[in-house]
Amino acid sequence: MKPVNEWNSFRIGLIGIGVGLLVAVGVIVMSTTNFGTKEYTAVLEHTAGLRSGEDVQVHGVVKGEVTGVDLEDDHVVVTFVLESDIDLGSRTEASVKVATLLGTHYLELEPLGGGTLAGDRIPLDRTEVPYNLQDVLESGAGALDELDPELLADALTSMADTLGASSDEIGPALKGVARLSEVVANRSDQAGDLLESARNVSDQLSDSSADIVELMSQTNLVVSEITARRDAIHRLLVETTGLSRALTEIVDSTKGDLKPALEDLNDVLAMLNREDETLTRVLDVMGPAVRYVANASGHGPWVDLFIQEPALPPDDAMCGSRGGCR
């Protein structure tokens, strides 16, 4: 093998140029070819500021990149690549979103529907773009033309005068709103705890719904029983009222007969009260006599009595007094 310094310099140059061209082609191919990705297109009403190189997100996660923004007829066609493991259904939707206040955007995809995306293209009726300021101005131009400038100037003047006259009240009102905002901000944790507690109460009520329904059914039974008892008490009161009226009528109808009877009864009671001492003495005297008679008649069919004369007169006395004995 020849040493390198003996090689043909022209041939070495051609080989070097060929290798350089191959490396350049390989770099270009590597930079333009997306491995593990798939290319899609979406039709937009306008670009909405979307540029090539911005992100493509699926459910808030970056899964691809915008590779081109081209004009087609009166619409804009956005070309983007997406990771091949993301399946876009037949009803997939796309929308342009604002990423930052500096004007960066991203394309948000919403995979919907079954099957695959027809032609790997999202049509115009399933894409959305942010509201265009030009559309707002154009839609409001007609309304502005219809306004009366003099009347509008008078209204603005009146508003300025009103604000100027009430400046002393507006200042404290704005301060009050600011303080209220501070209180709300300072109490945000407490408000969060309150909402969490409310959610826990709601969960507890939801879990106890069956028990609450059962309690309500039992409550219905109690209410029904109370209603029945109330009806019974009502009937009792009605019947008692009727009885009272009947007794009142009886008393009214017998008032003339009862008064003499009550007067006679009062007279009898007064007489008995007057004779109470006599009756008491009679009972005291009758007690021993009754006891002696009971003792005398307790020995058989006779009575043992000891009577001193002349309790019973002799037989001759009886015969003499009647004109002879028989």
To 10 degrees, the CA torsion angle through 292, 298, 304, 306?
Answer: -20
pLDDT of residue 199: 82
Phi, psi of 193 (to 5 degrees): -65, -40
Question: What pLDDT does residue 95 have?
Answer: 93
> Rounded distance, CA 54 to CA 47, Å?
12
Here the tokens at position 142 are 């007609």
- The pTM of the whole model exceeds 0.75: no
Q: Estimate to the nearest angstrom the gap between the alpha carbon of 326 and the chain centroid.
A: 123
Phi-psi region of 129 (alpha: psi -120 to 50; beta: other; left: phi over 0): beta
Output the pLDDT for position 315. 57
Tell me, what's the pLDDT at 10? 67
Which residue blocks in the chain are alpha helix, DSSP H? 9-32, 133-146, 149-165, 167-186, 188-207, 209-274, 276-296, 315-322
Within the chain, how many helices (H) and strands (E) appear?
8, 8
Antiparallel, parallel or unpaired: β 121-122 and 37-44: parallel
Res 110: pLDDT: 92
- Each residue's pLDDT expressed in tens, for the chain with a length of 326 residues: 556 566 666 676 777 788 888 887 776 766 555 557 889 999 998 888 899 999 999 988 999 999 999 998 889 999 999 998 888 999 999 999 988 877 789 999 999 988 889 889 999 999 998 865 555 556 666 666 677 777 777 787 887 777 776 667 777 777 777 787 777 777 777 877 888 888 888 888 888 888 888 888 888 888 888 888 888 998 999 999 888 888 888 877 777 777 777 788 888 888 888 888 887 887 787 777 777 777 777 666 666 666 655 555 555 555 555 555 54
First to last CA, the chain: 209
Q: What's the rounded Cα separation, in Å, for the pair 68 and 65?
A: 9
Other CB atoms within 10 Å distance of the CB of residue 54: 19
CA angle 212, 218, 222 (to 5 degrees): 135
